[in-house]
Structure 1
Amino acid sequence: MRVLFTLGDPYLPQRSGGAQSSTDQLVRALLAEGHSAAVLSGLEGGGWVELYSRLQRRVLRRHYAVDRARGYPVFRTWDPRDAGEVIRRFRPHVAVVQNDNTGRALALARSFEAEGIAVVFYFRNVDFEDIGGDPASVRSAAYIANSRFTATSCRTAFGIRPRVIPPLVESALYRTESSRENVTFINPVPVKGLEIALGVAGHCPDIPFVFQESWPLSPERRAALEARLADLPNVRPQGRTADMKAVYGKARFVLAPSLWQEAWGRVATEAQFCGLPVIGSSRGGLPEAIGPGGLIVDAEAPLAAWVAAVRRLWDDPAEYERLAIQARAHAGRPEIQGRQQLAAFLDVLRATVSRGVSRASARTAHLLAMALLLV
């Protein structure tokens, strides 16, 4: 099959995050199975990607630019709502439309539907107000959700029943033995629980923390964070990296005090592949991702509860080893194993394409019958 993934947000390397990483690894898994895959994404200013895109669009007089820096085509544009040009160039059998916060997902889906392309909505968050309308209005679409929490939210909001397929996390990219030197907090931004992480670090001056950047920080936000960390010598900030093995290779456990309604919690899966427990909030699907391999703290709990959980895993070797064993076992559950996830994903795609072919055949037969009657 020829599969086109869409993201209204910018894509790697301009923007990194769970959706981008999961898409990249799913594309690579499809390529390894002999399928063709590409990504259609938004674009943002700055860096070689934007410069290359601007030059290519100007010289070739195209609405989209395309690059293959990741080993497969990535189509980039400022406003990816009308996919006609990409459809003509890539000729997909099916479009996997992933929701984001740009408000473009529904418009994109309708663009594909108008061109006779099968559509699969892949819900990666529950910010449904950002979809741009009701996805159930795309009558031919199929639906995937990245967690039971997300699927339940979709049923409540739209009356649809997505198939649950957790994000594909390629274990080989993360699995490593750890020296267990620090507490790692990934993505130091407010919605991911920055204030809680700062508070815990301040109450545990004997524990080394690493604050690992994930979403790009603006110069202003980075300066503000560095000012806050000036009074916390036990916290070391680290810039963005593609080598997460190096990050997890020094972590004792991961702190994930998110305030956002997490649809899944990819960092929990990555960490548990390394046998690292996770202390996370009760938000959204994060408890589903952590399971028995860590501790869940109520999102509304006072700071003292977070401090107590961190001290419990740092100070009690027996409790730490118990949860580390549970984390590794949880990472071995069948539903997050790559081959099983890919098989489930392909089942949805094939069924959706097959329904589209059947509908097209029925329309052709109907038109033929009408023509014969007129004769």
Structure 2
Amino acid sequence: MTVATRIPPEAEAVPRTLRVAFAGGNGLPPEDSGGVQSSTDDLARRLLARGDAPAVLAPLYGQGVFGLRARARLKLAREPFAEDRHLGYPAFRTWFPAEAVGVFAHRTRPDVAVVQCRGSVPIARAFRAAGVPVVLYLRNVEFTELDGDPSRAGAAAYIANSRFTAATYREAFGIEAHVIPPTVDPSRFAVETDGSAVLFINPVAEKGLDRALSIAAACPEIPFLFVESWVLSPAARAALLRRIAPLPNVAFERRKADVRDAFRRARFLLAPGVWREAWGRVASEAQCSGLPVIGSDRGGLPEAIGPGGVVLSAEAPLADWVAEVRRLWSDPASHAALSAAARAHAARPEMDPDRQFATFRAILAQAAG
């Protein structure tokens, strides 16, 4: 297995320009947001800065002002997608990405396609049928989302976003993947913090909403800030606000265009996830500002937290979580030590964005031939 800190020799000199397609079944901003979108956007922008030509094929949801306008453009288009440059590079939005691959590949003529997340297997096969080499980016361990066996997708190479993800796919499918953690550029996330609240980002069930609410209820003297990440439906948001209402120490805010606004007010990050998350990008982002993380032992989250926080069993008694929250809130020495460890963990070589990108692009260039 190749890890991000061991750059392949070909990464040192890959002279030619690459046309790179990103494709998958996850939406793009402003219709969708999350770790996948943030990581893809960072890679696309780095490719642009190097002189390469990225383009993204993604599903259209058709909701909101942006989505309705895209739907209108799609109706008038002679192709199965609506093109825009909302993100600063070409994005092609379509109802069914796998069915649009052939036309998309003919239009953009990519040297290599990076296929990821929902619908990966049929999308990868469609690119192979169009004569485009594929690198399959394994970003989660929800196998059913892939719509097939990834070992039979015809990929030239595989990238996993954590050792946990790589090990899971190796055990299930015999796949050997390069490991490149999500790119988190400290210059985009590091801020001075005032330590005025415990921060919980993405208040949904998978991220440990029940546990977070229980902790907040048990610590009425500590202010908590819950911030939306995955866009909540009006019904889901109303249900959340009803649950928060009896807790005067909990504030809720809608999704931030710039997450640093939330980080500025945090003393540490709470991440009590209950699903097998492949990494835990928000933990890495928070640590850039010296914010320790109290998180669960599920999936790749412990890798993301490392020594820069506290890892507890997802099944640990509530009292254990409350004790750690109160310790980090009220013990300056403990907080200072973990804050320093968080900064150091965020700055480790494996997380260096330039090294990660060099490895990523070398893998693409090798796959492109």
Fold match by TM threshold 0.5: yes
In the alignment, residue 211 of structure 1 is paired with which amino acid? F
SS at match of 2:22: strand
Q: Secondary structure at the match of 2:97?
A: coil
- The residue that corresponds to 2:315 in the other structure is 300
Match of 1:208 in 2: 223
Q: 2:22 maps to which residue?
A: 5
| Count of residue pairs the alignment pairs up | 351
Task: Give the Cα separation in 1 of the matches to 2:74 and 2:216.
Answer: 48
Mapped contact 1:278–1:294 kept (Cα < 8 A): yes
Conserved? CA contact 2:24–2:123, under 8 Å: no
Aligned partner (choices 94, 115, 119) of residue 130 of structure 2:
115
Q: 1:202 is paired with a residue of what secondary structure?
A: helix
Cα displacement string for residues 155-196 of structure 1 (whole angstroms, at most 9, x for unaligned residues) = 011101000001111222211110111000000001100000
Query: Which position in structure 2 is the counterpart of 1:32?
Result: 49
What is the deviation of 1:232? Answer: 0.4
1:326 partnered with 2:344 = no
Give the structure 2 partner of residue 61 of structure 1: 78
User: Is 1:9–1:43's contact at 8 Å kept on the other side of the alignment?
Assistant: no
Q: 2:206 aligns with which of 178, 191, 204?
A: 191
**What TM-score results when the alignment is normalised by the length of structure 1?**
0.92
Q: Secondary structure at the match of 2:198?
A: strand
Q: Deviations over 1:313-333 (max 9, x none)?
A: 011110110000000000110
Q: Tell me by how many angstroms 1:51 deviates.
A: 1.7
Whole-angstrom distance in 1 between the partners of 2:278 and 2:77: 39
Paired residues of 2:81 and 2:93 also in contact (CA < 8 A): yes
Matches within 5 A, 1:169-180: 169-180=184-195
CA drift at 1:309: 1.1
1:369 matched residue in structure 2: none
Greater relative contact order (Cα < 8 A, sep 6+): 2
Distance 1:51 1:61 in 2: 18
Looking at CA atoms only, which structure, 1 or 2, has the larger radius of gyration?
1
Amino acid at match of 2:25: G
* Amino acid of the structure 2 residue aligned with 1:38: A
Structure 2 distance, partners of 1:136, 1:333, is 32
Aligned to 1:98: 116
Matches for 1:254-333 after TM superposition, within 5 Å: 254-333=269-348
List alignment gaps of at least 5 residues for structure 2: 1-17
What CA deviation, in whole Å up to 9, does each residue of 1:115-139 have, x standing for no partner? 1101000011000122111111133
Query: Which residue pairs with 1:235 in the alignment?
Result: 250
Say which of 82, 94, 100 aligns to 1:77. Answer: 94
Distance (Å, rounded) in 2 between the aligned partners of 1:134 and 1:46: 31
Matches of 1:281 and 1:88, distance apart in 2: 45
Mapped pair 1:48 → 2:52 = no
1:49 Cα deviation from its structure 2 partner = 2.5
Match of 1:89 in 2: 107
Q: Percent identity?
A: 54
1:148/1:285 contact within 8 Å kept: yes
Partner-residue secondary structure (3-state), 1:107 = helix
- Which residue does the alignment assign to 2:159? 144
**Gapped regions of structure 1 (runs ≥ 5):** 355-375
Runs of 4+ in 1 over 3 A off after TM superposition: none
Aligned residues of 1:109 and 1:138 also touching (Cα < 8 A): yes
Whole-Å Cα distance in 2 between the matches of residues 275 and 59 of structure 1? 50
Give me the whole-angstrom Cα distance separating, in 2, the residues matched to 1:286 and 1:140: 27
TM-superposed CA distance for 1:140, in Å, is: 4.4
Q: Distance in 1 between matches of 2:240 and 2:286?
A: 24
Aligned to 1:251: 266
The aligned amino acid for 2:200 is F
Aligned to 1:368: none
Report if the CA contact (8 A) 1:94-1:120 is conserved. Answer: yes
Following superposition, the deviation at residue 60 of structure 1 comes to 2.1
Distance, in Å, in 2 between the alignment partners of 1:61 and 1:343 is 38
User: Partner of 2:286: helix, strand, or coil?
Assistant: helix
* 1:286-319: CA deviation from partner (whole Å, max 9, x where unpaired): 0000000000010111211111110110111101
Superposition deviation, residue 9 in structure 1? 1.7
- CA shift, 1:141, in A, is 2.4
- Letter aligned with residue 33 of structure 1: R
| Distance in 2, Cα, partners of 1:114 & 1:282 | 41
SS at match of 1:261: coil
**How far 1:33 moved relative to its partner?**
0.9
2:78 corresponds to which letter in structure 1?
R
Question: Deviations along 1:79-118, whole A, 9 cap, x unmatched?
Answer: 1112011111111111000123xxx211100000011101
